[in-house]
Amino acid sequence: MSIPKVLVAPDSFKGSLSAVAVANALRNGLSRCLPQTSITVQPMADGGEGTGAILEALGGERVPAASATIYGAPVQRHWIRWQRMALVEASVGSQFVSPPNRQGSSEHTTSVGTGMLIAAALADPAIDEVMVALGGTGSTDGGLGMLMALGGQFMDGDGRFVTPFGDNLSRVSQCVLPRMSKPLMGLYDVGVPLLGQRGAVVQFGLQKGILPGDIKRVEDAMGHYAHCVQGSAGPDWANVPGAGAAGGMGFGILAMGGRLQSGAEVVAQWGTLDRHISAADWIITGEGKIDSQTVEGKVVGTVVRQAARHGKPVIAVVGSRDEDLTQLHQMGLTFVLPLVPGPMSLSDAMKNAEPLIIMVGEELGWLIKRQCP
């Protein structure tokens, strides 16, 4: 039998295992059946939670800095320094926490904590470029707090300054936007616009605590804010893919003169994914769930896209999946392998994720072995 070359490039399984742990578990399972196989491991992330861990695995170091919760309370967080680049994770600077008062809609949130981390990274003379991983956040303020933390000014119709919370979006009438002294790039996990049915409020507002009856009002407020920031004849930042990421922080980055890119594609460049794919016979990827968002910038979609350019087969190991994955298969996904072998609760599956992934890895080893002459 010829010795196959396998590339293992999964995302994390949210709430269960990091991408590094998932990749190692798959490698362990594959090695049980194919001990001589050449296995390359490249953990992935999409700009959401876990992106910093990938950079740390490449040698990045945490730098402590002052920040704030999504409700404005002071807190210590960190950003990551790697060579002359800084990575700020919005999932760290604006991570979701349950509201202090569970009654009412959770639109009184702010991205100011992420802005404080960006400011700290920009102030470091050893840093030439700042990247912001946009994903896994709890705020829906269109980047208002982030912009204010970086020196932006926002006033109401009477010229009074507004406070940096999402429930003030409808009050914004005029603004002075900050400009960055160093290149700034936002890494989005889902390439959605700011407004509309696929936007920050309508698609993601409910999971961040905005009540169903408040969605239209908050969407209208976000549209008003976007119009004030862009100006009537300004660039249409709101419709740029990724503008709606992180509750609209992607829009805020564009407003500061920054740019947006798929987080999964940038992480792929960090680890030279394309080169590894071209050298592999089989590619194994995966994440906790694949659905309609997977093609928008998630890891599995990115891996499938790049593998298709080389004509390489891709197997996705998943915790759960949508019924219809036609678009992914048309892109080049070969096969989807569910993690759970039989009836099992979600909590049990998450608790036993590592042994389940090892078991699936071993099954994949047998599949690959049968396919190799």
Each residue's pLDDT tens digit, 193-231: 999 999 999 999 998 888 899 999 999 999 999 999 998
61-68: strand order across its sheet: 61-68, 74-82, 85-89, 129-134, 184-188, 259-262
Query: d(Cα 27, Cα 16) in Å, to the nearest integer?
Result: 18
Whether residue 120 sits in one domain with residue 33: no
Amino acid identity for residue 207 in this structure: Q
Q: Is the per-residue pLDDT at 53 higher than 80?
A: yes
Whether residue 312 sits in one domain with residue 246: no
Q: Which residues contact 234 (CB under 8 A, 6 or more apart)?
A: none
Whether residue 57 sits in one domain with residue 16: no
Question: Given pLDDT bands bounded at 50, 70 and 90, which one contains residue 101?
Answer: low
Please tell me the least confidently modeled range out of 51-65, 174-188, 284-298. 284-298
Q: Is the per-residue pLDDT at 105 higher than 60?
A: no
pLDDT at 199: 95
Taking the alpha carbons at both ends of the chain, their separation in whole angstroms is: 5
pLDDT at 346: 82
Question: Given pLDDT bands bounded at 50, 70 and 90, which one contains residue 348?
Answer: confident
pLDDT at 37: 87
Q: Is the per-residue pLDDT at 75 higher than 70?
A: yes
Q: DSSP character for 206? A: G
Residue 220 class from Cβ within 10 Å (0-12 exposed, 13-18 middle, 19+ buried)?
middle
Amino acid identity for residue 368 in this structure: I
Q: Residue written as tokens 């920031």? A: 229
Q: Which helix (H) or strand (E) holds 64?
A: strand 61-68
Residue 216 class from Cβ within 10 Å (0-12 exposed, 13-18 middle, 19+ buried)?
exposed
Q: Which residues constitute the domain of residue 12? A: 5-42+272-371
Rounded average pLDDT over 56-84: 96
Amino acid identity for residue 310 in this structure: H
Structure confidence by residue, pLDDT tens digits, 106-116? 678 999 999 99
Whether residue 136 sits in one domain with residue 77: yes
Number of domains in the chain: 2
Q: Domain boundary residue among 264, 282, 300?
A: 264
Q: Is the per-residue pLDDT at 104 higher than 60?
A: no
Please give the model's pTM, rounded to 2 decimal places: 0.90
Q: Domain boundary residue among 264, 295, 319?
A: 264
Structure confidence by residue, pLDDT tens digits, 2-36? 788 999 999 999 888 999 999 999 999 999 999 98
Contact assessment for residue 169 and residue 223, using Cβ atoms and an 8 Å cutoff? no
Query: d(Cα 107, Cα 125) in Å, to the nearest integer?
Result: 36
Q: Residue written as tokens 């680049």? A: 85
Structure confidence by residue, pLDDT tens digits, 362-373? 999 999 988 876
pLDDT at 102: 53
Length of the chain, in residues: 373
Query: d(Cα 217, Cα 352) in Å, to the nearest integer?
Result: 42
pLDDT at 287: 92
Q: Residue written as tokens 């889902």? A: 190
Whether residue 339 sits in one domain with residue 260: no
Whether residue 191 sits in one domain with residue 66: yes
Question: What's the chain's average pLDDT?
Answer: 92
Count of other CB atoms within 10 angstroms of residue 32 = 14
Whether residue 255 sits in one domain with residue 201: yes
Q: Give which of 34, 48, 26, 41 is closest to 3, Cα–Cα.
A: 34
Q: Residue written as tokens 């890119």? A: 261
CATH number at residue 312: 3.40.50.10350
Q: Domain boundary residue among 241, 264, 287?
A: 264
Whether residue 278 sits in one domain with residue 256: no
Whether residue 179 sits in one domain with residue 31: no
Whether residue 68 sits in one domain with residue 38: no
Rounded average pLDDT over 38-53: 92
